[in-house]
Amino acid sequence: MVEFSHIPVLLDECINNLEIKTNGVYVDGTVGGGGHSGAILKKLGEGGLLIGIDRDAEAIEAAGIELNSVLKGTGSGARFELVHDNYVNMVSICKERGIDAVDGILLDLGVSSHQFDSAERGFSYRFDAPLDMRMDREDRLTAADVVNRYSERELADIIFRYGEERWAKRIAQFIVERRKKSPIETTLELVDVIKAAIPKGARMDGGHPAKRTFQAIRIEVNGELDVLPRVILGAVEMLKPGGIMEIITFHSLEEGIVKKLFKKAENPCECPPEFPVCVCGKKPLGKMTTKHGIVATPEELERNPRAASAKLRVFKRA
């Protein structure tokens, strides 16, 4: 296995806001290399339990090594269990283990440093590799499938919606024209097409010209934005009174969904605005305790520049 290296972002902020109980039950739905989970585990006692979930089998293996090391160091008697699955199944994963309510939930969305830096995974426009981008290698859809099989209209829509790319239509046109000659099979082949599609003057703004398109294709391959609405409200309902749910986002699309759904949990009433009193019976589930979201400090950004786009939102159950 390639060494799994990932620096957990907003670590102190996550741990401080999680209000960890010694004998509590916690779920890390994106366990990665175990950075956040390890910090949680250090604060748990003999009755404490951590459930770590990840779609990436390499992450599960690395997290197991990290968390076992943490337990040896603390000698606390806390327990952990790792599950190779999608966090969208979080509620059922807990119920299968006889857990109906938990004290805290953490989701660190996006791609880990390890996934970006593992060239063969195809997430990065910096390395030449097969177009893959699957977080779970057992999934069928790959980036190559999206690039070579989707229609021009579908590609333009994905690149515009998920990448917020102003040149989406032109990039889609260039992709379709290029693949007529032969399939686009590698990351650098795709980068060349994107660079050709974006006018030279426009390539000077907003970082690498392929950044937004790669983000869009990755989101499509992994269904990243599809699962969020399906999991957040169910996860909030699984929190014990006073329980905490934390979500770290890395771009405006994720952040917008999280903010909207946390506000929905704050005020789930479906009555028309003109009704003088609520008759639907839906009561507030709690309160979002981070009005504007928490971002990385200058000190953290110096240590880990990839934390620049990270934002933490926290919801506390009533």
Q: State the pLDDT confidence band at 227, using cuts at 50, 70 and 90.
A: confident
Mean pLDDT on 232-246:
96
pLDDT over 70 at 198, yes or no:
yes
Mean pLDDT on 256-260:
96
**201-236: b (≥16 Cβ within 10 Å) or e:** eebeeeeebbebbbbbbbbbbbebbeebeebbeebb
Q: What is the pTM of this model?
A: 0.92
CATH number reported for the structural domain that contains residue 180 in this entry: 1.10.150.170
Question: Which of residues 174, 205, 222 is at a domain's end?
Answer: 222
pLDDT over 70 at 99, yes or no:
yes
Same domain? For 104 and 231 the reply is yes
Same domain? For 97 and 159 the reply is no
pLDDT tens digits, residue range 144-165?
A: 999 999 999 999 999 999 999 9
**Residue 118 has what pLDDT?**
84
Mean pLDDT on 13-29:
97
Q: Using alpha carbons only, give the angle 265, 270, 274 rounded to the nearest 5 degrees.
A: 125
**Residue 202 has what pLDDT?**
81
pLDDT over 60 at 201, yes or no:
yes
Same domain? For 100 and 138 the reply is no
Name which of 315, 314, 312 is nearest 108 in CA terms: 312
Same domain? For 100 and 153 the reply is no
pLDDT over 90 at 240, yes or no:
yes
Q: CA 102 to CA 98: how far, in whole Å? A: 11
Q: What is the residue range of 145's domain?
A: 127-222
pLDDT over 70 at 128, yes or no:
yes
**Residue 110 has what pLDDT?**
76
Q: Quick one: what percent of the chain has pLDDT higher than 90?
A: 83
Domains held by the chain: number:
2
